[in-house]
Structure 1
Amino acid sequence: MSSNLVHHSGRQPDVALVNDDDFPYEQDVQRNPGNTKPWLAYIEFKLQHGTPREQAFIMERACLQLPRSYKLWKMYLRFRTKHVAKLNAAIWAAEYRKVDALFERALILLNKMPRIWEMYLKFLMQQPLVTLTRRTFDRALRALPITQHNRIWALFRPFANSAEGDTAVRIYRRYMQVHPEDAEDFIELLVQVGLYTEAVHKYIDILNNPRFTSKNGCGHYELWSDMVDLLVGHAPDIQTGHETGIDVERIIRSGIQRFADQRGKLWCGLATYWIRRGSFERARDIFEEGITTVMTVRDFTLVFDNYAEFEESITVVLMEQASTRAEKGVVDEAADFDLDIRMQRFEQLLDRRQFLLNDVMLRQNPNNVTEWEKRVGLWGENKQEVVQTYTDAIAAIQPKKAVGQFHQLWANYAKFYESGGDIRNARVIMEKAVKVPFKSVAELADMWIEWAEMELRNQNFDDAIKVMAKAVQAPKRSTVDYFDETLSPQQRVHKSWKLWSFYVDLVESVSSLEETKKVYERIFELRIATPQTVVNYANLLEEHKYFEESFKIYERGLDLFSYPVAFELWNLYLTKATDRKISIERLRDLYEQAVEDCPPKFAKVIYLMYGSLEEERGLARHAMRIYERATRAVSDEDRADMFNFYITKSASNFGLPSTRPIYENAIGTLPDKEARDMCLKFADMEKRLGEIDRARAIYGHASQFCDPRTNPGFWSKWEQFEVQHGNEDTFKEMLRIKRSVQAQYNTDVNFIASQALARSQKMQQNVGEDVDQ
C-alpha cells in the first residue's frame, strides 16, 4: 500500500492521476467550482472506475475547494477511516496520524457537527492514545452545545471504562454532574479502583436525595444495605470521622431503629466493622448490646452465634499463642491470665444463653406468664434470684393483658415461701394476690382456693374456712351480675359457683351439718345454685336421715330449673320418694305434678314409673288409665312402644279381649308402617281367640297400608291364613283385594317416585357389593 494517498494539496489536477475519461468531469468542476454537485458526480464516477489513490485525490481536491461542505467531508473522512480500519494501529501509526490530521482539518470549520466528532472519537478509540483521546473528548464537549452532549457521553463512558483507574474516575465525576441517575455505575467504578470513602459519600448523596430512582430497580433499603456492606467489608480502608463526615456506627444504628426485621443482621454488621478495625472490646460491647435489645428469636440466634464465634476465635488464637510459648519455654503470666479471662468469658456467655433467650421473649411480651415461670425455673436453687424474678414479674405484668394463668404465678410465689417453711410471708403474698384486678372472676376464685388449699396443706382448717368465708362475703341481697364486666372481679367473686362449691365441700368435711346447711342456704339465696348443688344438698340431708327436708330441697330445685334439667331432678326425686314408701296419695300428687308440664320427649320414663307405682301399691285400673294417658303424652317415636307396653299390661291384668279397644286406638293413631305391624299383632291375637272373621277383617283393613311389591311378607301371611282357615271364596276375595291395592299404588304419583328412588339406591348398593367382591 502506498504510504500516502495524496501527494499534494494544490488546486490544479495532477496529470498522472487524471485520464481521458475524467475530462468531462474536470470541465464541470472548472465551470462550477463552488457547486458540490459536479464534485459529487465526479467522486461517484471515480468510486466506480478509479483507483483508491485517484478516489482520495478527487475527494481531497473537493474538500479543498469547498471546505465548509459537511457532505464532502463526511464522505472523505469515512473513506479514509475505512481505508485504514484493517491496519494495526501500533504498526501503522503514521497512517493513523494522517487521518487524525485530516479530522483536525475538517473540525476547523465543522466543529459544530456532532457526527464529525463522533467519527473522530470512534477512530481515536481504535488507537493506543489515551491522553489524546481524552482531550479530544473534552474538546468535543466544549465545542458542542449541551443538547448534543449525550451523543458524546455515549462514547465517553465506554472509553472511561476501558481506561480504568484515575482517568475513569475523573471522567465519571464530570459525567455525574450531568447524569446523576447513573450514580450506581459510578459507585461500582469507585469500588473497583479502591476509592471506598468516595463510594460511601456517593451512597450518602443518593440516599439523601428523595428524588433519586435506581435504574437497577433497587429500593431505598437495598441501597442502604449495599452501603453498609461496603462500610463493613472495607472498614480499614474507609476514612471516618469529622473530616470525612462518615460516622459508621451512627449510620448502622439508624438502620437498627428503622428496619426492625433486620436488626440481627445489622448488629452483627456493626460488630464486624469494629472487629475489622481491630477494636475487639468495642465489638464485644456491640454484641452485648445486640443480644440484650433484639426482639425476635431469629435475630437473637444470629447475634448470639456470631458473638460466640467471635469469642471462640479469639480464645483459639490465644491458646495457639500459649502453645507456641510453651514449646519455646517462654513464660508470660499476663498473656496466660488474659487467656483464662477469655475462656471464662466464653463459658459464661454459653451459660447465659437460656437467660438471654428468655429475655428476648419477655421483651416481646412482658405479660407472658409462661416465660416468667420459665425464668424462675432457670434460676433453680438460687433463692435470691427466684424472689427477684417473682418480684419483677409481678411488677411487669398487667393483669388485664396477662397471657397465661397470672393467678398461678402468685400461687407459685406463695408456694416458694411455703416450701421453705415461711408460712407467714406466704400469707402476705396471698393477701396481696386476692386484691389483684385479674382478667376474670374465675382467676380470682382460683386465687382464693389456692390460699385455702395452702392452709389445708398446713393443717390450718379453721384458717382455711375463714379464708373462704372472707372470699364469699357479700350483702344479704346481692344484685350483682356475675357477667357484668364493668365491675371488678372482687365485686363479683361472691357469685362464683366454683368458689362456693369449694367452700361447701370444705365446710362439709370439717364442720357440722348446721354450718353446711347455712352455706347451702346462702347459695340458694344468692341464686347461684346449680342442679348439682340441689342434688348434693339433698343427698347430704338424706345421709343424715332428714328425708323430708331433702324432698323439700328437690322441690326448691324444681322451682329453679325447667326442662330438661327438671327431668333429671324429677327422676331422682320420684325414685327416692317411691323408695321411702310415703303415702300413695302424696306420691300420686307428685307424679301428677311431674307429668303436668312434662315435654313429650321425657314423658315416657315418668309415666312408666307412675304406672309401675300404681301396679305395686294402687289399683290395676288406675295403672291402665295412666298407660292410656301415656300413649297420648309421649313423643311420636315412643308412641308405638308405649302402645305395645300398654297392650302387654292389659293382657296380663284383664285378659286378651281387653286389648281390642287398645289395638283399635293404636291402629287409628299410629303412622302407616307402625299401624301395619300393629294390625298383624291384632290379627294374631284374634286368631288365637278363634275369631277368624275378625282376624280376616283386620287383614283387610291392613291391606290398604301394604303394597304387594314392597310388603310381600304381609300378603304371604294373609295367604297362609286363608289356606289354613278360609275357603275358595275368601281366598279369591283376598286376591281381589290384592289386585285392587296394587292398582291403587300403581296410580299414586308420589309412590311411583319413591319406588323409583328406592330401586336406584338398591342398584347402587348392588354395584358397590360387586366391586367389593
Structure 2
Amino acid sequence: MATLSDDYMINEHDIPYEEELLRNPYSLRSWLRYVDHKRNGTLAELCFIYERAIKELPGSYKLWKQYLDLRRLKLSGMSPARFKAQYASVNSCYERALVLLNKMPRIWLDYLSFLTTQPFLTSTRRTFDRALRALPVTQHSRIWDLYLTFAEAAGGETAIRVLRRYLKLEPSHIETYVDMLIKLERFDEAAVKLVSVVNDNRFVSIRGKSQYQIWQDLCELVVEHCSDIKNLQVEPIIRSGIKRFTDQVGMLYCRLAMYWIKMGQLEKARDIFEEGVTGVATVRDFTAIFDAYAEFEEEMITTKMEMAAEREESGGKDEDEDLDLDLRLLRFERLMDRRPFLVNDVLLRQNPNNVMEWEKRVALWGDNRSKVVETYTQAVQTIHPKKSHGKLHELWVHFARFYEDGGDLDSARSIFDRAVKVNFKTVNDLAEVWCEYAEMETRHDDFDRALDVMGRATSVPKIPGVHPKQINFHDESLPVQQRVFKSLKLWSFYIDLEESVGTLESTKDVYDKVMDLRIANPQVIVNFATFLEEHEYFEESFKVYERGIELFGWPIAFELWNIYLQRFLKRYGGEKIERARDLFEQALDKCPPKYAKPIFLMFGKFEEENGLARHAMRIYERATKSVADEDRLEMFEFYAAKAVESFGVVSAREIYESAIESLPDKDVRIVCLKYADLERKLGEIDRARAIYGYASQFFDPRVQPEFWQTWHDFEVKHGNEDTFKEMLRIKRSVQAQFPSAI
C-alpha cells in the first residue's frame, strides 16, 4: 500500500485503518472512514489518502467529488496568476476524474465553474465544448447556463459565436443574442435578426414582449444607428409597420421622419411629415406628427437664424440664405394656419358622414366663397343620407341659405330642388327642407311660388297598385319622398301659409285634404273649426268638430266635445234648445264614466239657464249613476246642493238616502254626517238620532273617535239619560264587531 517515502504520513493512530484497508482495499466505506479520521490533518495527508483511494477505486463518483471539492476549496480566494501551478494541479485532477466520470454533469459543472475563474479563454471554451459533446442533450441546458455567463464575460467574437450555437438549441433566446450584438455595436446584424423575429408570427418572446414592442425596438434601433445599417432598407420596414400597427401610425411616421433627418435628407423628412398629417385617421396620431413637424421646422428656423446672426457679426451676407430663411418662416406660418383644416380632415377621414364636421369646415373658410361652395358640394356628394351623423337636412338648408344671402336666388332654388330628391333618414327631415324652401320664398315676398312649393311637397305620389291611404308614414322600405305627403309638420306649415297669404277656399281645401288623409291631430281640428268660425262659417265649423270626434273617439273626443259644446252654446245660447239637448245626449252616449262629470255639469247648467229646474235635477240624478266611482260623492253633494237651492231643504232627504244606499262605506260616513246635521237643523231630533244609529256601524270607535264625539255632543244637547245610555250601548256593540286595534 505505502512506500518507504510515504511512511512519515502514517502514524500509530492510522494503523487500524491501514490494517482494515489491507484486508478490504476495495471497500468504499473503509476509505471514507479513513478520510473522516484524517479530516483534521494537513492537506498533504488528505490528498495522500484520496490519491490512494481513487487509485483503488477510480470510478467512484463520491471519492472524486469529495477530493475535487477539497482541492478547489483550498484555492478559494487565491489568485490564479500567482498560484498558477496549484490551479494547474487541480485542473489535472479534474481531467483525470473525467476520464471515467465524463457522464457526470456535476463534475463538469464544477470543473467549468473553476475554469471560468482562470484567465484561459480558449482552453475554457474548448472544455465547455467537450462537456457538451460528452453529456446527453437533456443535460445541455445546465451547461449552457454557465456557458452563456462565461460568453458574456468574455465578450467579443467569442460571445457572438457561443450565442449563435446556443440559438440552434434554444431559438427563443434570440433577444439575448440581439442584446449582445447591440452591446458590441454590431447594429446591422442586430437589425437583421430583429427583422427575422418580427416576420415570424409564431415567435413568442421569453421576456413577455408583444410583436409591437419588438417592432418598436427594431424601429428605434434602425433610426438611432441609421448610418450603421447596411443590409436593410429602413423606409420599407417602417412603412410595413405603419400598415400593420394601425394604432401606432403617428409614432411610426415620426420615427421614419427622424430617420431621414439623421440621414441628412431634410426635404425627404418634410415629405414624410406632410404625408403623415394628411393621411392619419386619428387625432392622437395627427397631434403626435404635427407636434414633431412643428418642432422640426422651428429647429430649422432657429439654426438658420443663428447662422444669419453669425454672418452679420462677421460682416458677411448671403442673400440666398436670407431668402431661404424667409421661405422657411412663411412655410412655418402656413403650417400653423393649416392646423384647423388638417384636424378637420382627420375627423372627416374617420367619418365622412359627420355633418357637424363638414359644417365646421365651411366655417373655417370664412369669406372665401369659392372654397365654401366647394366644401358644401363635396359634403353633399360624400355624405350617405342613411348613414349621416347629424342633421343632413340642415346642411342642405345652409347651402341654399349661403346662395340666398349672396342674392343668388336661382342657385338657392336649384340647391333646394336637389335637396328634396335626397332620401333622408326620416320623413321629417325632408319636410323641414320643403318648409325651409317655402320660407325662403316668403322672405322674398314671392308668395305664389311659396304656395306652389308647398303644393309640390304635399302632392300625393302615384305608386302603381298602391292606394295613398295604404302608404304607412313609418314604412322604412319606401323612400321618404313617397311618404312625406303624410307629414303633419309639412301640412301644418302649408295651412299656416294658406291662412296668411291664401284665400278662404284654398285654405279650406288644404284643411279638407288633411282630414281626408286622416293625419290631422286634435289641434288641427280645433284650428280648422276656429278658422271657419272666424270667417262666420259656424255650421261648417260644427261639422269639423263632429268629424274630429268621429275620427279620434274617446278620450280625445272629450276635449273636442268640451270645445264644441261651449262654442255651440256661445253661438246659439237658448235659441236652439232641442238641438243643444241632442248634442249633450250624443256627447254622453258611450262616454266613459271617467269623462262624464264635466259634460253632465255643463248639461245641467244649460237646463237651469234655458229649461226647467226639474230637467236639471233629472240630469244631476243621472250623473250620480253615470260618473266614475271617485266622482260620485262629489256629484251627490252637488245634486243635493242644487236641490236645496231650487226646491228647499226637505228635497235633499231623498238624495241623501239614495247616496247612502249606493255609495261605498267610506263615502257613506260623510253623507250620513251631513244628513244628520241637516235633520238636526230642521229640528228633527229623532230622525237625526236614527241616522247616527245607522251610521254607527261604519265607525270604529278606536279609529274614528270624531264621529262618536259628535254623537256624544248631540245627546248631551238634545237627548236624555236613556238616549245617552243607548248611544253608549251601541258604541260598545260596534267596538266589539270591529277587530281589535293593533
* TM class, shorter-length: over 0.9
Bigger mean CA deviation after superposition, 470-479 or 103-112: 103-112
Are 2:390 and 1:404 equivalent residues in the alignment?
yes
- Does the CA-based 8 Å contact 1:647-1:663 persist in structure 2? yes
Change (3 A) 1:29 1:614: closer
Q: Give how far 1:99 is off.
A: 2.3
Separation of aligned partners in 1, 2:660 and 2:138:
110
Q: Give how far 1:703 is off.
A: 1.1
Indicate the residue corresponding to 1:768 in structure 2. none
Indicate the residue corresponding to 2:402 in structure 1. 416
1:393 to 347, 367, 379: 379
Are 2:442 and 1:451 equivalent residues in the alignment?
no
Separation of aligned partners in 2, 1:31 and 1:615:
149
Separation of aligned partners in 1, 2:198 and 2:585:
91
Q: Give how far 1:572 is off.
A: 0.6
Bigger mean CA deviation after superposition, 653-662 or 684-693: 684-693
- Does the CA-based 8 Å contact 1:11-1:65 persist in structure 2? no
Q: Give how far 1:25 is off.
A: 5.9
Are 2:735 and 1:742 equivalent residues in the alignment?
yes
- Does the CA-based 8 Å contact 2:35-2:49 persist in structure 1? no
Q: Give how far 1:490 is off.
A: 0.9
1:485-513: CA deviation from partner (whole Å, max 9, x where unpaired): 22111111111111111111111111211
Q: Give how far 1:95 is off.
A: 2.1
Separation of aligned partners in 1, 2:379 and 2:532:
47
- Does the CA-based 8 Å contact 2:460-2:468 persist in structure 1? yes
- Does the CA-based 8 Å contact 1:117-1:140 persist in structure 2? yes
Residue 14 of structure 1 aligns to a residue in which SS? helix
Separation of aligned partners in 2, 1:475 and 1:40:
117
Q: Give how far 1:67 is off.
A: 5.6
For 1:326, the aligned partner's letter is: E
Q: Give how far 1:20 is off.
A: 5.1
- Does the CA-based 8 Å contact 1:187-1:203 persist in structure 2? yes
Indicate the residue corresponding to 2:653 in structure 1. 660
1:243-275: CA deviation from partner (whole Å, max 9, x where unpaired): x2x232222222222222222222222222322
Q: Give how far 1:117 is off.
A: 2.8
- Does the CA-based 8 Å contact 1:315-1:343 persist in structure 2? yes
1:523-555: CA deviation from partner (whole Å, max 9, x where unpaired): 122222221111111111111111111111111
Change (3 A) 1:412 1:735: same
Indicate the residue corresponding to 1:181 in structure 2. 172
Separation of aligned partners in 2, 1:282 and 1:620:
104
2:426 to 416, 430, 440: 440
Change (3 A) 1:256 1:106: same
Indicate the residue corresponding to 1:713 in structure 2. 706
Change (3 A) 1:552 1:173: same
For 1:478, the aligned partner's letter is: P
Separation of aligned partners in 2, 1:71 and 1:719:
119
1:724 to 705, 717, 738: 717
Separation of aligned partners in 1, 2:588 and 2:436:
45
1:418-474: CA deviation from partner (whole Å, max 9, x where unpaired): 111111111111111111111111111111111101111111111000111111112
Change (3 A) 1:721 1:97: same
- Does the CA-based 8 Å contact 1:200-1:227 persist in structure 2? yes
1:99 to 90, 110, 119: 90
1:190-236: CA deviation from partner (whole Å, max 9, x where unpaired): 22222222222222333334443322222333322332233333333
Separation of aligned partners in 1, 2:630 and 2:478:
49
Residue 580 of structure 1 aligns to a residue in which SS? helix
Unpaired segments of 5 or more residues in structure 1? 1-8, 757-773
Residue 672 of structure 2 aligns to a residue in which SS? helix
Q: Structure 2-normalised TM-score? A: 0.94
Change (3 A) 1:14 1:497: same
Note the 1:601-640 alignment, pairs <5 A: 601-640=594-633
1:498 to 489, 492, 515: 489
Q: Give how far 1:113 is off.
A: 4.5
Are 2:278 and 1:292 equivalent residues in the alignment?
yes
Separation of aligned partners in 2, 1:670 and 1:632:
10
Indicate the residue corresponding to 1:513 in structure 2. 504
- Does the CA-based 8 Å contact 1:703-1:738 persist in structure 2? yes
Q: Give how far 1:94 is off.
A: 2.8
Unpaired segments of 5 or more residues in structure 2? none
Change (3 A) 1:16 1:569: same
Change (3 A) 1:137 1:729: same
Separation of aligned partners in 1, 2:251 and 2:625:
81
Change (3 A) 1:40 1:560: same
Separation of aligned partners in 2, 1:396 and 1:631:
68
- Does the CA-based 8 Å contact 2:679-2:688 persist in structure 1? yes
Change (3 A) 1:704 1:27: closer
Indicate the residue corresponding to 1:166 in structure 2. 157
- Does the CA-based 8 Å contact 2:257-2:273 persist in structure 1? yes
- Does the CA-based 8 Å contact 1:46-1:55 persist in structure 2? no
Are 2:264 and 1:264 equivalent residues in the alignment?
no
- Does the CA-based 8 Å contact 1:46-1:54 persist in structure 2? no
- What is the number of equivalent residue pairs in this alignment? 735
2:127 to 93, 114, 136: 136
Indicate the residue corresponding to 1:689 in structure 2. 682
Indicate the residue corresponding to 1:311 in structure 2. 297
Change (3 A) 1:123 1:552: same
Separation of aligned partners in 2, 1:306 and 1:488:
49
Indicate the residue corresponding to 2:565 in structure 1. 574
Indicate the residue corresponding to 1:221 in structure 2. 212
Indicate the residue corresponding to 2:477 in structure 1. 486
Separation of aligned partners in 2, 1:736 and 1:355:
96
Q: Give how far 1:96 is off.
A: 1.7
For 2:330, the aligned partner's letter is: Q
Are 2:145 and 1:154 equivalent residues in the alignment?
yes
2:516 to 508, 518, 525: 525
For 1:653, the aligned partner's letter is: S
Q: Give how far 1:598 is off.
A: 1.1
Indicate the residue corresponding to 1:14 in structure 2. 6
- Does the CA-based 8 Å contact 1:296-1:361 persist in structure 2? yes
- Does the CA-based 8 Å contact 1:74-1:116 persist in structure 2? yes
Change (3 A) 1:710 1:146: closer
For 2:468, the aligned partner's letter is: S
- Does the CA-based 8 Å contact 2:673-2:692 persist in structure 1? yes
Separation of aligned partners in 2, 1:150 and 1:313:
53
Indicate the residue corresponding to 1:762 in structure 2. none
Identity across matched positions, percent: 56
Alignment RMSD, CA only? 2.4
Separation of aligned partners in 2, 1:55 and 1:719:
127
Q: Give how far 1:136 is off.
A: 2.6
Are 2:576 and 1:590 equivalent residues in the alignment?
no
Q: Give how far 1:611 is off.
A: 0.4
For 2:693, the aligned partner's letter is: G
1:465 to 451, 471, 485: 451
Residue 189 of structure 1 aligns to a residue in which SS? helix
Note the 1:276-355 alignment, pairs <5 A: 276-355=262-341
For 1:737, the aligned partner's letter is: I
1:553-607: CA deviation from partner (whole Å, max 9, x where unpaired): 1111111111111111101110011111241000000000001111111111111
Bigger mean CA deviation after superposition, 107-116 or 409-418: 107-116
Q: Structure 1-normalised TM-score? A: 0.90
- Does the CA-based 8 Å contact 1:32-1:38 persist in structure 2? no
- Does the CA-based 8 Å contact 2:250-2:289 persist in structure 1? yes
- Does the CA-based 8 Å contact 1:507-1:516 persist in structure 2? yes
Q: Give how far 1:112 is off.
A: 5.0
- Does the CA-based 8 Å contact 2:21-2:31 persist in structure 1? no
Change (3 A) 1:734 1:66: closer
Separation of aligned partners in 1, 2:283 and 2:33:
86
